[in-house]
């Protein structure tokens, strides 16, 4: 069925029932797969009054038509109502789980209801079981995966699961698979609220049998592989040093946050230089069928040669968050913080942001040793950083407040803490400063999940004539139409990428001509680039329509004052702030939305969207 299995598994945990539903071809044509189909289902099935921890909230796991067939496409999307924002939440992860789900003959899983006791789901090709999880409930995410492989007798089983943060309903708990995290929006807490510990999958079918034109597709795989192997970003940067290798370069532009976004430059940045980071790399790892190998295994030794750390290395977001954001220049602490978050199942972005907020509260005297049980929260105090991660995951002491996320923690603490609680729609933003790249202000202001899939920073780095940008756009452009166009284009592309379940690192690396031909060879269709981007536009507008259902409008498309009214005093973007209000007006007009940020009836009809 158009390159897909055509089968969705629906599990109701309340009555422990499971059914297989057919995926309609018109849904695939209009929404492709992955995030697109998941969001369409969520829109239809979850009314706005449903709360994140209600049994009526749903977790939808989806893969797409490219999953595991083209290089760097083995991702999966997860959609549900976010406990941080109370609107649609979305998160993505790579690794092997998505491809295993495809081999098991499924395109997605809808989880609804709530089990009366801890359970896990076991999918073995066509056999589906809901099994008792009492003996694994308290395990961390890494232990859970190993235990289930042992328990079920197969090391090739792939598992998505939650750690202690999920079972303790930390509002920014994530869902782990292998060492990968679906980090954003707190969907791990939603999984925990359903008493669902894990979903284990094993499949043995051959997804290549679903390809419409197998011979043509073989040629296109070779072209895509060649493009990746010859690209400087995927080889010399992401492949060689991973995303953390960019920290030094990003810091020079003022993009990296320091001291909870108050400082533009910091002497400790020298500790995160790419060449120093490269010395820590012990091995390179990859998701299934990906030659980029951006995931690094790190080893750090002391002067006597004693191994202090050996394990998964952090991505850029984690390094920026547990490093410069907190004025911590100790790489060992960053490595350990990353490992702890992986094991507990914590989003490293929201976790580090919440700790940064707590440190500013300490600096201002809002938090004292009385509230922290004697724990000092001075900037860069590495022991406190690691202890706070544990307290948050286990909801101990001050961690119980910080587990609620920045917005709710500020409300609980009071004393004007809300004035510097840096969230958008309740979600902590990713670690790229909109004062450094003004077009990025829109990514956070109008987005649903606070992340940077619509990564317009790339348009300031390279010309993209294929996307209508014959030359790089200025970082601090005051042209509202240019900034609005850049964000809209990258948002629509991001929705396509997330629905194909392709890695964002190879968007633009695999030429769109090759990508289109590959998609058409798989699906037996004839998409044009314009039609594909229209699918992305449709999906983005559908997300906005759900937000509107929940009361979202222009009043919510805002950034904290720190980003719009408090320019940095130093660094590569000193004195610069984005004109978000001006950009918003141009953006709404370009999107076909009203002055209040609501898609017009004309836009809804043009995109063949659902009408309430």
The answer to whether residue 470 is domain-embedded is yes
The answer to whether residue 611 is domain-embedded is no
In this prediction, residues 217-230 reach a mean pLDDT of: 97
- Tell me, yes or no, whether 166 and 261 share the same domain: no
- Tell me, yes or no, whether 342 and 491 share the same domain: no
pLDDT at residue number 611: 60
β partners of residue 298: 281, 311
The answer to whether residue 41 is domain-embedded is yes
- Tell me, yes or no, whether 250 and 395 share the same domain: yes
The answer to whether residue 215 is domain-embedded is no
pLDDT at residue number 130: 98
pLDDT at residue number 453: 72
Task: Report how far residue 26's alpha carbon sits from residue 525's, in angstroms, rounded to the nearest whole number.
Answer: 12
The answer to whether residue 518 is domain-embedded is no
The greatest distance separating any two alpha carbons of the chain, rounded to the nearest whole angstrom, comes to 69
Name the domain count of the chain.
Answer: 3
The answer to whether residue 514 is domain-embedded is no
pLDDT at 511 over 90: yes
CB atoms within 10 A of CB 170: 34
Three-class SS of residue 59?
strand
Q: Give the sign of the dihedral formed by CA 380, CA 382, CA 386, CA 391.
A: negative
- Per the document, the length of the chain is 612
In this prediction, residues 583-593 reach a mean pLDDT of: 97
- Tell me, yes or no, whether 30 and 97 share the same domain: yes
- Final residue of a structural domain among 171, 190, 210: 210
User: Tokens 């859970």 map to which residue?
Assistant: 144
Look up the CATH number of the domain holding residue 47. Answer: 3.60.9.10
Task: Report how far residue 37's alpha carbon sits from residue 28's, in angstroms, rounded to the nearest whole number.
Answer: 7
Q: What DSSP string describes 452-472?
A: -SS-THHHHHS-BGGGTBSSP
Antiparallel, parallel or unpaired: β 127-132 and 158-161: unpaired
Look up the CATH number of the domain holding residue 535. Answer: 1.10.599.10
pLDDT at residue number 277: 87
CA of residue 5 relative to chain centroid, distance: 25
- Final residue of a structural domain among 194, 210, 226: 210
pLDDT at 612 over 60: no
Q: Residue 110: which pLDDT band, with cuts at 50, 70 and 90?
A: very high
Q: Residue 449: which pLDDT band, with cuts at 50, 70 and 90?
A: confident
Look up the CATH number of the domain holding residue 292. Answer: 1.10.569.10
In this prediction, residues 165-170 reach a mean pLDDT of: 98
Antiparallel, parallel or unpaired: β 196-202 and 119-124: parallel
Integer Rg of the chain from CA: 23
pLDDT at 150 over 80: yes
Backbone angles phi, psi at 407, to 5 degrees: -60, -50
The answer to whether residue 168 is domain-embedded is yes
Mean pLDDT, the chain, whole residue set: 96
Q: Closest by alpha carbon to 587, among 494, 480, 489?
A: 480
pLDDT at 420 over 80: yes
Q: pLDDT digit string (tens) for 567-579?
A: 999 999 999 999 9
Burial class (CB in 10 A: 0-12, 13-18, 19+), 612: exposed
- Tell me, yes or no, whether 151 and 281 share the same domain: no
In this prediction, residues 373-402 reach a mean pLDDT of: 98
Contact 556, 413 (CB under 8 A): no
pTM: 0.98
- Tell me, yes or no, whether 253 and 350 share the same domain: yes
- Tell me, yes or no, whether 378 and 474 share the same domain: no
In this prediction, residues 308-327 reach a mean pLDDT of: 97
Backbone angles phi, psi at 8, to 5 degrees: -115, 130
- Tell me, yes or no, whether 360 and 455 share the same domain: no
- Tell me, yes or no, whether 204 and 268 share the same domain: no
Contact 268, 327 (CB under 8 A): yes
Range of the domain at 164: 7-210
In this prediction, residues 406-421 reach a mean pLDDT of: 98
pLDDT at residue number 452: 63
End-to-end CA distance of the chain: 29
Q: pLDDT digit string (tens) for 52-99?
A: 999 999 999 999 999 999 999 999 999 999 999 999 999 999 999 999
Q: Residue 23: which pLDDT band, with cuts at 50, 70 and 90?
A: very high
- Tell me, yes or no, whether 146 and 20 share the same domain: yes
The answer to whether residue 532 is domain-embedded is yes
- Final residue of a structural domain among 390, 425, 460: 425
Q: pLDDT digit string (tens) for 458-496?
A: 999 999 999 999 999 999 999 999 999 999 999 999 999
- Tell me, yes or no, whether 169 and 199 share the same domain: yes
- Tell me, yes or no, whether 205 and 308 share the same domain: no
């Amino acid at each position: 069925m158009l390159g897909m299995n055509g089968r969705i598994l629906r599990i109701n945990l309340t009555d422990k029932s499971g059914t297989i539903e057919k995926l309609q071809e018109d849904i695939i044509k209009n929404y492709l797969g992955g995030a697109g189909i998941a969001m369409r289902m969520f829109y239809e099935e979850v009314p706005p009054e449903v709360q994140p921890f209600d049994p009526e909230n749903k977790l939808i796991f989806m893969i797409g038509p490219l999953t595991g067939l083209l290089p760097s496409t083995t991702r999966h999307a997860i959609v549900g109502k976010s406990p941080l924002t109370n609107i649609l939440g979305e998160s993505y992860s790579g690794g092997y789980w998505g491809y295993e789900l495809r081999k098991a003959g499924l395109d997605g899983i809808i989880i609804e209801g709530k089990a009366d006791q801890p359970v896990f789901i076991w999918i073995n090709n066509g056999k589906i079981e809901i099994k008792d999880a009492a003996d694994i409930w308290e395990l961390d995410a890494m232990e859970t995966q190993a235990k289930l492989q042992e328990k079920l007798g197969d090391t090739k089983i792939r598992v998505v699961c939650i750690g202690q943060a999920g079972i303790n309903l930390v509002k920014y708990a994530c869902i782990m698979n292998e060492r990968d995290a679906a980090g954003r929006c707190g969907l791990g807490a939603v999984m925990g609220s359903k008493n669902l510990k894990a979903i284990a999958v094993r499949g043995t079918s051959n997804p290549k049998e679903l390809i419409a034109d197998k011979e043509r597709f073989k040629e296109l795989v070779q072209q895509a592989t060649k493009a990746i192997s010859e690209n400087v970003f995927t080889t010399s940067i992401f492949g060689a040093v991973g995303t953390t290798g960019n920290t030094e370069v990003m810091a020079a532009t003022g993009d990296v946050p320091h001291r909870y976004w108050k400082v533009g430059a910091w002497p400790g940045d020298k500790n995160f230089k790419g060449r120093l980071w490269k010395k820590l790399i012990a091995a390179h790892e990859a998701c299934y069928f990906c030659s980029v190998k951006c995931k690094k295994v790190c080893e750090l030794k002391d002067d006597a040669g004693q191994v202090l750390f050996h394990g998964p290395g952090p991505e850029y977001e984690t390094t920026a968050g547990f490093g410069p954001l907190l004025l911590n220049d100790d790489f060992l602490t960053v490595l350990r913080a990353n490992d702890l978050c992986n094991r507990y199942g914590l989003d490293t972005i929201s976790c580090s942001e919440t700790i940064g907020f707590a440190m500013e509260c300490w600096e201002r005297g809002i938090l004292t040793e009385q509230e922290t049980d004697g724990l000092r929260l001075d900037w860069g105090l590495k022991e406190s950083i690691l202890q706070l991660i544990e307290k948050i995951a286990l909801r101990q002491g001050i961690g119980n407040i910080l587990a609620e996320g920045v917005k709710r923690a500020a409300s609980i603490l009071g004393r004007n803490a809300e004035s510097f609680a840096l969230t958008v729609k309740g979600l902590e933003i990713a670690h790229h400063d909109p004062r450094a790249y003004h077009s990025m202000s829109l990514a956070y202001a109008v987005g649903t999940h606070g992340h940077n899939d619509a990564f317009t920073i790339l348009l300031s780095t390279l010309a993209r004539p294929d996307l209508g940008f014959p030359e790089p756009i200025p970082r601090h452009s005051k042209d509202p139409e240019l900034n609005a166009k850049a964000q809209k284009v990258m948002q629509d592309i991001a929705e396509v990428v997330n629905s194909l379940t392709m890695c964002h690192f190879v968007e633009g690396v695999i030429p769109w001509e090759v990508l289109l031909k590959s998609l058409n060879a798989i699906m037996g269709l004839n998409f044009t680039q314009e039609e594909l981007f229209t699918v992305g536009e449709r999906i983005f507008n559908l997300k906005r329509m759900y937000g509107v259902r929940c009361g979202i409008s222009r009043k919510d498309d805002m950034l904290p004052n720190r980003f719009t009214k408090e320019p940095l005093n130093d660094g590569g973007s000193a004195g610069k702030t984005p004109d978000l209000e001006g950009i918003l007006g141009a953006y709404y007009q370009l999107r076909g939305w009203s002055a209040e940020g609501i898609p017009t009836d004309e836009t809804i009809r043009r995109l063949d969207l659902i009408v309430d």
